[in-house]
Structure 1
Amino acid sequence: MELLDHLALGFSVAFTFQNLIYCLLGCLLGTLIGVLPGIGPVPTIAMLLPITYVLPPVAGLIMLAGIYYGAQYGGSTTAILVALPGETSAVVTVLDGHQMARNGRAGSALAIAALGSFFAGCVATVLLAGFAPPLAEVAFKFGSAEYFSLMVLGLIGAVVLASGSLPKAIGMILLGLLLGMVGTDVNSGVARFDFGIPELQDGIDFAVVAMGVFGFAEIMTNLELKEQRVEVNDKVGSLYPNKQEFSEAWPACVRGTALGSALGILPGGGAVLSSFASYTLEKKLSRTPERFGKGHPAGLAGPESANNAAAQTSFIPLLTLGIPGNAVTALMIGALTIHNIQPGPQVMTSHPELFWGLIASMWIGNLMLVVLNLPLVGLWIKLLKVPYHILFPAILVFCSIGVYSLNYNVFDIWVTAAFGLVGYVWAKLKCEGAPLLLGLVLGPMMEENFRRALLLARGDYTTFVTRPLSLALLLVAVGLIVLVALPSIKKRREETFIEES
């Protein structure tokens, strides 16, 4: 009954006119950036972070969350119709979704993707509502040593599950941790790593780094690409799957939802890993694997359900433990700190309207996306005809205005531009920006909990291994390192992400 009372509170918050408008705005923006190639949810949320300064915390988070899971919907539309995935997680959707469109079943493919995503989003939201309170209760038993060990585990998990080179991911996380140390030491009051620049004494603003690495750098990378002009047949056909398509799609939808819900909770898991893993699973379980890549409904329903389920459950570690699992939830932590809200289990008790309002808005947002996406397919496709040389400079100007509005300081724009150039070089070297962002967010919290744990233990470093829960978390972290070092696991990991490169 207590859960029902909490959900009633959440829906009463989410159903206010203001929050419904921001939920709708987030869903529309998310679908838009999912449709347009080269603009993902991370750059968009990074660009919109300054706007949350003037919004109530609940409205701001509802809008940012809508952008995230809305992008998963939008990415599938162009992947199916024109074989042009707007989102990385929609790469797998191209394989069978576009083939279904070429076979004259575009409407059916769009309906399978939308309904599978809606089902997965609803199930994942229920899991979020059900599992979050018990996890938060456990988190209240954490001390400083346990939080430090948990953050170590989170960073190692992000490295293990990140696509691309492991050494590069480790290097980016360490760089993020170092950047998090810039500024005034809260314990001694001494400025460190500021190189005598007064503007750096308060540290490097999280939003500045995010906009540089994910906003400016993405624009520079995409301007190198040749503009793709697409011709789309506006006639998508019937939106109703036939009996065979439905019978093949719904079991894959259920399996994809379960797989995505589990992988979304893991640090570094998220929508991309879930969609690739689901496609691999469906192909292995199928009695006719040769049909995959030729328009098999299961090859579409599974990944689409998985990536949307993962997008929702990735909020579980954020809301219960204050630990970001991916770049998007790291940005959410930035949005919380803007409003002086400390991420973690205390959010549920000190800001219940924020916690439960966000959860309720996810169900409303998923319903909005189903209602909006199918009728507006023609509009989304027309947006693909906007020339990149017009689109990207406009985004650049918007980014610059957003950065300046943080502190009304031109220095922030120069720092963002510098991180944009560095981010561009990292993209060329195939170094991911997400681990850097996680390191930057978790670095100050890790240091604070590390020093507090040592202070309470009177300088005894063994406190991290003598406390059972802390020791268990560290052992899991070591186990992950050993596991990923095994040749068979290393090979399987490379095979999982081979299509992404």
Structure 2
Amino acid sequence: MDLFHNLALGFATAATPPNLLYGFMGCLLGTLIGVLPGIGPVATIAMLLPATYALPPVSALIMLSGIYYGAQYGGSTTAILVNLPGESSSVVTCIDGHQMARQGRAGPALAAAGIGSFFAGCVGTLMLAAFAAPLTALAFRFGPAEYFSLMILGLIGAVVLASGSLVKAIAMIVLGLLLGLVGTDVNSGVARYSFDIPELTDGIGFVVVAMGVFGYGEIISNLARPAAEREVLGAGLSTLWPTRQDVRTMVPAILRGTALGALLGVLPGGGALLASFASYALEKRVRGRPGELPFGRGNIRGVAAPESANNAGAQTSFIPLLTLGIPPNAVMALMVGAMTLHNIQPGPQVMASNPELFWGLVVSMWLGNLMLLVLNLPLIGLWVRLLRVPYRYLFPAIVLFCAIGVYATNNNTFDVWMVALFGVVGYVFSQLGCEPAPLLLGFILGPMMEENLRRALLLSRGDWTVLVTRPISAGLLVAAGILVLMVALPTIKARRQEAFVED
């Protein structure tokens, strides 16, 4: 009965006209920044943080939360239409979503992403309401050794999900890890691999690598082809909605992605990102229906599952923030800043001392997901019509938006030149048949792996056995080892090569 009482309190708080308005503004703004490549929720929330000082605390947090999960919705749009991941968690969506767009099925891909996101967001919100305390207890058992082992498992999963050669996939992950080391050493404060370039002392930004390798690399690949062969995405768009066969195929994938994302989203260290990759890898292990397209060639499960996983993870990532005061990612760290700005101490006392804030925020997430579904599904036709624009007009606009988004992140022209450089690198990768998704995962997880490994060794006084003496860490490493052995087995390897037919 307490749960129903608390939800009633949340509805009374979140359903007031001002809070509904701020929630709608956050969802709309989040969708727009998700659609526009390169900006992202971190930069937007950071810019809007001072402006929320004049708002009531509940309204401010409702709006900032709407920006966060709204961007998860919008990030899939550019990933599907123009192969640009607006968010790191949308990287996997590019693989099959963009292939569907090239086949004239951008509408069903966008619908699958929207429906999966809505369902997963609602389930994630219910988990936040009902299971916040026990799920936080599970996350609380994770120390630096467990995080390091979890990220090892994530990287092994990236090798499994990469198409083509295993050697190429491993090489891309290693390259991503090396790029992640560029910057300033956390412990000593000494610049490393910066080549005496001041702009590199802060490291290379995710936006720079993602926009360059995916966005500019795709543009250069298209421009390298003769005009007659150049890709026209808008050709052959016959329907905007999934067929009955699509629905039967994607519903189980949405359920699996939601369950996996809701669990991994609780864990600090990029749970929503890991969830999208893990969900994609899981779908490849699940036997498909007869006649189903292979993954990497436009399988709708490759869109529905990761989009469900990252949205469920986005909702449940609020659990450690609201119950322990631990921000699991950069956006949640900004939310801590917003709460501090309004004299609210994040942690377990929020639920007891400020129940209107806690439960109003929980209910606003459900209302926000409903708003996003109403906003996004009618806009599918508009986004698909953008694909009918001739490519000679479309690619300069993409280049311009990418350049503006990258420049706006740090107000630095050096980043724009870096994007151009990574665009050439991305083109070279496409010519060599290398999948860029493992590179991005290695790039994102590399610094976090290093930080957690160092912390674990500091706490154990340099004893490496801490990674195998802690049960959860040992279990994760065993799972990673089993995954490696499975991929190395001749029968699995042969089946994998059949699933991933290189272009």
TM-score normalized by structure 1?
0.69
Instruction: Indicate conservation of the 8 Å contact 1:156/1:477, yes or no.
Output: yes
Distance 1:112 1:201 in 2: 41
1:328: which partner in 2? none
Residues 1:423 and 2:422 aligned together: no
Distance in 2 (CA, whole Å) between partners of 1:147 and 1:406 is 28
Distance in 2, matches of 1:168 and 1:376, equals 38
The structure-2 alpha-carbon separation of the partners of 1:133 and 1:111, relative to structure 1 and needing over 3 Å to count, comes to same
**What SS does the corresponding residue of 1:427 show, helix, strand or coil?**
helix
Is 1:367 the equivalent of 2:370? yes
**Residues of 2 paired with 1:319 and 1:249: CA distance?**
32
- Structure 2 gap ranges (5+): 50-60, 83-92, 265-273, 322-327, 338-344
Equivalent-residue separation in structure 2 for 1:446 and 1:479 (angstroms): 20
Q: Which one is further off, 133-142 or 251-260? A: 251-260
- Which residue matches 1:192? 192
Q: Distance in 2 between matches of 1:92 and 1:203?
A: 32
Residue 493 (structure 1) aligned with residue 490 (structure 2): no
For 1:19, give the aligned amino acid.
G
Number of aligned residue pairs: 443
* Structure 2: distance between partners of 1:267 and 1:116: 14
Structure 2 counterpart of 1:443, from 442, 446, 453: 446
**Alpha-carbon distance between aligned partners in 2 of 1:315 and 1:349, rounded to the nearest angstrom:** 20
Corresponding residue for 2:311? 312
Equivalence for 1:455: 458
Q: Which residue of 1 aligns with 2:182?
A: 182
Q: Give, in whole Å, the separation in 2 of the partners of 1:6 and 1:261.
A: 22
1:211 is displaced (CA, Å) by 2.7
Letter in 2 for 1:212: G
CA RMSD of aligned residues (A): 5.0
AA in 1 matched with 2:480: A
Equivalent residue in structure 2 for 1:388, among 388, 391, 413: 391
CA contact (8 A) 1:45 1:67 kept: no
Partner of 1:479: 482
Q: CA deviation at 1:63?
A: 3.6
44, 62, 76: which is aligned to 2:37?
A: 44
Q: Is the 2:213–2:422 contact (alpha carbons within 8 Å) kept by the matching residues of 1?
A: yes
TM-score, normalised by the number of residues in structure 2: 0.68
Task: Give the 5 Å matches for 1:43-192.
Answer: 44=37, 50-56=43-49, 59=63, 62-63=66-67, 65-70=69-74, 88-90=95-97, 122-123=122-123, 126=126, 134-192=134-192
1:481: how far off?
0.7
Distance 1:216 1:44 in 2: 12
Deviations 1:324-353 (A, max 9, x none): xxxxxxxx9455567787xxxx98859989
Report what 2:289 is aligned to. 282
Query: How far off is 1:449 after superposition?
Result: 1.6
Question: 1:24: which partner in 2?
Answer: 28
1:398 matched to 2:401: yes
Q: CA deviation at 1:201?
A: 2.0
Shift of 1:71: 6.3
| Cα deviation digits, residues 169-212 of structure 1 (max 9, x gap) | 22222222222222222222222212122222222233322332
Residue 172 of structure 1 aligns to a residue in which SS?
A: helix
8 Å contact kept, 2:41–2:71: no
Question: More deviation in 362-371 or 422-431?
Answer: 362-371
CA distance in 1, matches of 2:470, 2:224: 52
**Separation (CA, whole Å) in 2 of partners of 1:7 and 1:222:** 54
AA paired with 1:400? Answer: A
Whole-angstrom CA distance in 2 between matches of 1:205 and 1:7: 43
Asked if structure 2 preserves the Cα contact closer than 8 Å seen for 1:174 and 1:436, the reply is yes
One-letter code aligned to 1:312: N
- Please give the alpha-carbon distance, in whole angstroms, between the structure 2 residues aligned to 1:338 and 1:462: 35
Cα deviations across residues 403-447 of structure 1 (Å, max 9, x unaligned)? Answer: 223333322222222222212212222323322222222222211
The 1:482/1:320 distance shift into structure 2, 3 A limit, reads: farther
